[in-house]
Amino acid sequence: LAKTTQPISMDSYEGQEVNITCSHNNIATNDYITWYQQFPSQGPRFIIQGYKTKVTNEVASLFIPADRKSSTLSLPRVSLSDTAVYYCLVGDIGNTGKLIFGQGTTLQVKP
């Protein structure tokens, strides 16, 4: 499994765009990049997933450069309710079944 590195914490204000970058230098050819969000006292929930270039859904965008050694989760115009821990996962999880979470990035959105 590719090791991931992401900031421990970030602060933002309501209405701003937040970008959380994850480094995964030893990503393998078959690995996908997946992001989860966890609110306090709840289990994580899937946000977005990608292999290369850009993926966008109703919650976030995921930017992956050509070398795939990093990825950036972008949250447009955050609100207080986006305060959560965000986890970056990299692996061939669908094939191996091994789902490993790192430390995650704690995002605090302030009014």
Partner 1 sequence: NAGVTQTPKFRVLKTGQSMTLLCAQDMNHEYMYWYRQDPGMGLRLIHYSVGEGTTAKGEVPDGYNVSRLKKQNFLLGLESAAPSQTSVYFCASSYSSGRGLNAEAFFGQGTRLTVV
Going through the chain in order, the beta strands assigned E by DSSP cover: 9-13, 18-23, 32-38, 45-50, 53-56, 61-64, 70-75, 84-91, 105-110
Q: Write down the least CB distance from residue 53 to partner 1, Å.
A: 15
Q: Write down the least CB distance from residue 8 to partner 1, Å.
A: 10
83 counts as binding partner 1 under rule CB under 8 A:
no
Beta bridge partners of 37: 45, 86
Instruction: Number of residues interacting with partner 1: please give it, by CB under 8 A.
Output: 29
- Contact residues: partner 1, CB under 8 A: 30, 32, 34, 36, 38, 41-46, 49, 51, 85, 87, 89, 91-95, 97-104
